[in-house]
């Protein structure tokens, strides 16, 4: 076989493999291989294609992104009319629909409906020719839409080629589906937009539609979208008799079909499912705004036909709205747990989809200004999924005298510190003392990747702050067990344990402490980089913007935030207090590594330890330069066996690997700490 032939068959193989894994991951949500293994396949394919561009297949998964931006979208004629749906939120409307269907089909007809959630996204048409995706378009006016083929290609749940393992491929297939954005992706996208001072999307539907209508496909590719297929608009070379069969086929061809599908034969079953979905809609992870009821029998559909706007065989039984109009009573600045000030609209209470709402977020001062919301205004509010309700827009009331524009305060409403501006946000810089921030700060301080203080969760933090035991961060180290005992949730033992945990937490490694103090934008990776670079907290505190930018991954913006954090006089004073008192930073990992008493050794831990957590035990071994693995082999130099050690201990003995008890390990650590 020539090199070219070998490349050709490998490209075929890899294309099929990557397509298969995309399907497992994005459609079935059941991946078979690790992300790393997937990345390796993808990389190999991309490299081969780069070397042999002529061998690249038209449906190559590497080609989901890559088309150049357009000037405008072409107009595309749909294969069949994309109808809208007759709809009503009242049961009465549903009853009338059911009666009309039965009247139209005749008294002897057996009626089966398929029930599907009404997905709140953007409707699209996909056209496949001989199994290959050739075109995608928006619904437009129902007859013609905008050609958004390149953008739809970036959606991973859209197969670029249909699978043919379950059914033969039709010569032509026009599919209708809904492109949606999951709630968590929507929240993250909006957070990103807000951070950069841009306007957030009002709801996931707008986010999905807006992302699809980007002239530059790379922007669409950066937005996590999903497509659910729910209908066939036209097909050649395949026949269907029932809608259920259509859905099964779509699934077999590798499209994502919504699993919340049911069947029903009458109104009672439909209302029961409607109720169930209304209650469960917040748990789906994406927005639905009703239940679509469709006649299963396609011959019956033919018989009923359509009006000029919608088919007579389908009906949308809507959910109670989650958008209502109300009035803003006042706008209050509220301090978040990281010091961000959010303007909150206090409103006349309204019911939004079964929940009474009286507060809604206005995000930041730029958003308030953009929407021009003032006290007394009439506004439209909305609740989407689990997110906090938001004010969508102001309703104009001609002739009404309006209040003054909202003005961000200069000082923190919780602690009185002068606010600083960070992008579109106003922020209280008083990180360790501001009462509004303290619960969140304490919780973060004690979290696993920070000082790992067992027992210091949010509930405990709330208690400590609420009962006045902690007024500023350093107070945490002054809490005594006796003070805790009277409170619910604490006994003498658990109180003692928390106090011990706090004390132990104070002997932290530098990178953990840096992360723990909660400098804006500084996560665990940056904290580690800072610790490695500066070595001591003192040199980090003295670093100027230029020093900071010498650290990998730190740009001018982050450097500025870090500097501002340490320069804030209150932060500086409280850090002094912490570092002169309870905090005893352990020598940074780097020097321990250099000491390297165990460098080159492979160590395994098993069983449970009484004094050390498993993670601590591991980290300390790593600090000495050891490689910690999870299974015992001939390569293992040492096994540290705690209480209840089992098979690993047996195996170590069989292989004559050195075995230590926890006791041995601790005294070794003590000795090596003393020695250097």
What residues make contact with ligand AMP under the rule CB under 6 A?
Answer: 84-85, 87, 116, 118-119, 123, 139, 178, 230, 292, 316
Note the Cα 251 to chain centre separation in Å: 26
**Taking the complex as a whole, how short is the minimal distance between the CB of residue 582 and Zn ion, in angstroms?**
23
609 binds Zn ion (CB under 5 A): no
Secondary structure E strands in 266-322:
288-295, 314-318
Q: Which is nearer to ligand AMP, 318 or 363 (CB)?
A: 318
Q: Which of residues 357-416 bind Zn ion (CB under 5 A)?
A: 412, 414-415
Judge whether 118 counts as a catalytic residue.
Answer: yes
Q: Which is nearer to Zn ion, 68 or 468 (CB)?
A: 468
What is the Cα–Cα distance from 358 to 381, expressed in whole angstroms?
A: 10
Among 41, 208, 434, 453, binds Zn ion (CB under 5 A): 434
Residue 388 · residue 203 · CB < 8 Å: no
What is the Cα–Cα distance from 294 to 541, expressed in whole angstroms?
A: 66
- Partner that binds at residue 434, options ligand AMP, Zn ion, none, CB closer than 5 to 8 Å by kind: Zn ion
| Residue whose pair of structure tokens reads 């970036």 in the numeric block | 154
**Taking the complex as a whole, how short is the minimal distance between the CB of residue 398 and ligand AMP, in angstroms?**
29
Burial of 436 (0-12, 13-18, 19+ CB in 10 A): buried
- Partner that binds at residue 256, options Zn ion, ligand AMP, none, CB closer than 5 to 8 Å by kind: none
Residue 329 · residue 378 · CB < 8 Å: no
Q: Which is nearer to ligand AMP, 286 or 406 (CB)?
A: 286
Residue 201 · residue 260 · CB < 8 Å: no
**Taking the complex as a whole, how short is the minimal distance between the CB of residue 251 and ligand AMP, in angstroms?**
14
Question: Per CB under 5 A, which region of 187-195, 262-270, 421-429, 510-518 contacts Zn ion?
Answer: 421-429
Question: Per CB under 5 A, which region of 64-72, 427-435, 542-550, 636-644 contacts Zn ion?
Answer: 427-435
Edge-first strand order for the sheet with 87-88 is: 87-88, 314-318, 288-295, 113-119, 262-264
- Partner that binds at residue 119, options ligand AMP, Zn ion, none, CB closer than 5 to 8 Å by kind: ligand AMP
* The token pair that represents 424 in the structure block: 């579109």
Among 185, 360, 428, 495, binds Zn ion (CB under 5 A): 428
Residue 287 · residue 205 · CB < 8 Å: yes
**Taking the complex as a whole, how short is the minimal distance between the CB of residue 442 and ligand AMP, in angstroms?**
45
Residue nearest to ligand AMP (CB): 123
Among 149, 256, 342, 430, binds Zn ion (CB under 5 A): 430
Quick one: the chain helix, strand, coil %, rounded to 5? 40, 20, 40
- Partner that binds at residue 27, options Zn ion, ligand AMP, none, CB closer than 5 to 8 Å by kind: none
473 binds Zn ion (CB under 5 A): no
Catalytic, out of 5, 118, 294, 303: 118
Q: Which is nearer to ligand AMP, 209 or 510 (CB)?
A: 209
- Partner that binds at residue 430, options ligand AMP, Zn ion, none, CB closer than 5 to 8 Å by kind: Zn ion
| Residue whose pair of structure tokens reads 């357009």 in the numeric block | 70
**Taking the complex as a whole, how short is the minimal distance between the CB of residue 434 and Zn ion, in angstroms?**
3
DSSP string computed for 390-457: EEEEEEP-TTPPP-PBP---SB-TTT-PBPEEETTEEE---TTT-HHHHHHHHHHHHSTTTT--TT--
| Binding residues for Zn ion, total number by CB under 5 A | 7
Give me the residues paired with residue 438 across strands.
Answer: none
* The token pair that represents 655 in the structure block: 């292989």
- Partner that binds at residue 484, options Zn ion, ligand AMP, none, CB closer than 5 to 8 Å by kind: none
* First and final C-alpha spacing in the chain: 62
Q: Which is nearer to ligand AMP, 2 or 307 (CB)?
A: 307
- Partner that binds at residue 464, options Zn ion, ligand AMP, none, CB closer than 5 to 8 Å by kind: none
Burial of 590 (0-12, 13-18, 19+ CB in 10 A): middle
Q: Which is nearer to Zn ion, 149 or 426 (CB)?
A: 426
User: Footprint of Zn ion on this chain (CB under 5 A)?
Assistant: 412, 414-415, 417, 428, 430, 434
Which residue numbers are catalytic? 118
């Amino acid at each position: 076989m020539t090199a070219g032939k070998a490349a050709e068959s490998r490209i075929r193989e890899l294309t099929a493999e990557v397509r298969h894994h995309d399907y497992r991951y994005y459609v079935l949500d059941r991946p078979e291989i690790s992300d790393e293994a997937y990345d390796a396949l993808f990389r190999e394919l991309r490299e081969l294609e780069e070397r042999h561009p002529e061998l690249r297949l038209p449906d190559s998964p590497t080609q989901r992104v890559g088309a150049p931006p357009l000037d405008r979208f072409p107009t595309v004629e749909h294969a069949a009319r994309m109808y809208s749906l007759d709809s009503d939120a009242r049961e009465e409307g549903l009853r009338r629909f059911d009666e009309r269907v039965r009247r139209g089909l005749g008294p002897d007809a057996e009626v089966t409906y398929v029930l599907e959630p009404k997905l709140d996204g953007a409707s699209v048409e996909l056209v496949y020719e001989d199994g290959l995706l050739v075109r995608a378009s928006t619904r437009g006016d129902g007859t013609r839409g905008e050609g958004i083929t390149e953008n739809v290609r970036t959606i991973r749940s859209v197969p670029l080629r249909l699978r043919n393992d379950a059914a033969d491929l039709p010569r032509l297939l026009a599919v209708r589906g809904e492109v949606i954005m999951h709630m968590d992706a929507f929240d993250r996208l909006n957070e990103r937009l807000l951070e950069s001072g841009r306007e957030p999307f009002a709801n996931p539907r707008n986010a999905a539609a807006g992302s699809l209508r980007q002239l530059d496909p790379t922007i669409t590719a950066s937005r996590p979208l999903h497509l659910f297929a729910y209908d066939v608009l036209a097909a050649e070379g395949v026949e269907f008799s029932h809608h259920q069969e259509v859905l099964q086929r779509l699934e077999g061809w590798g499209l994502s079909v919504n699993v919340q599908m049911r069947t029903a034969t009458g109104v009672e079953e439909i209302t029961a499912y409607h109720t169930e979905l209304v209650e469960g809609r917040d748990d789906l992870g994406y927005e639905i705004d009703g239940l679509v009821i469709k006649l299963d029998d396609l011959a019956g559909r033919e018989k009923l036909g359509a009006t000029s706007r919608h088919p007579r065989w389908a009906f949308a039984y809507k959910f109670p709205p989650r958008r209502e109009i109300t009035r803003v009573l006042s706008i209050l600045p509220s301090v978040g747990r990281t010091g961000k000030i959010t303007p909150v609209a206090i409103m006349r209470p309204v019911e939004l989809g079964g929940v009474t709402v009286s507060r809604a977020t206005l995000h930041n001062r730029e958003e308030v200004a953009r929407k021009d919301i003032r006290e007394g205004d009439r506004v439209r509010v909305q609740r989407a999924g689990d997110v906090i309700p938001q004010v969508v827009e102001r309703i104009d009331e001609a002739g009404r005298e309006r209040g003054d524009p909202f003005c961000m305060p200069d000082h923190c409403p919780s602690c009185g510190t002068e606010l600083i501006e960070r992008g579109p946000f106003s922020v209280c810089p008083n990180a360790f003392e501001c009462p509004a921030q303290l619960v969140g700060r304490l919780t973060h301080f004690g979290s696993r990747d920070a000082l790992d203080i067992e027992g210091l969760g949010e509930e405990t933090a709330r208690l400590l702050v609420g009962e006045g035991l902690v007024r500023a961060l350093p107070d945490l180290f002054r809490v005594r067990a006796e003070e805790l005992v009277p409170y619910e949730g604490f006994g003498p033992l658990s109180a003692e344990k928390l106090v011990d945990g706090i004390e132990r937490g104070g002997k932290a490694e530098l990178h953990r402490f840096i992360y723990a103090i909660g400098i804006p934008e500084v996560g665990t990776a940056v904290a580690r980089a800072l610790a490695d670079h500066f070595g001591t907290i003192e040199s980090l505190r003295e670093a100027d913007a230029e020093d900071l930018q010498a650290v990998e991954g730190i740009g001018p913006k982050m450097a500025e935030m870090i500097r501002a954090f340490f320069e804030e006089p209150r932060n500086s004073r409280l850090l002094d207090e912490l570092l002169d008192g309870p905090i005893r930073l352990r020598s940074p990992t780097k020097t321990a590594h250099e000491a390297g008493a165990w460098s080159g050794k492979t160590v395994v831990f098993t069983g449970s330890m009484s004094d050390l957590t498993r993670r601590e035990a591991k980290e300390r071994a790593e600090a000495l330069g050891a490689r910690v693995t999870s299974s015992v082999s001939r390569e293992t130099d040492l096994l540290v066996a705690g209480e209840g050690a089992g098979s690993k201990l047996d195996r170590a003995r069989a292989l004559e690997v050195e075995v230590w008890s926890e006791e041995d390990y601790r005294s070794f650590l003590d000795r090596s700490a003393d020695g250097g």
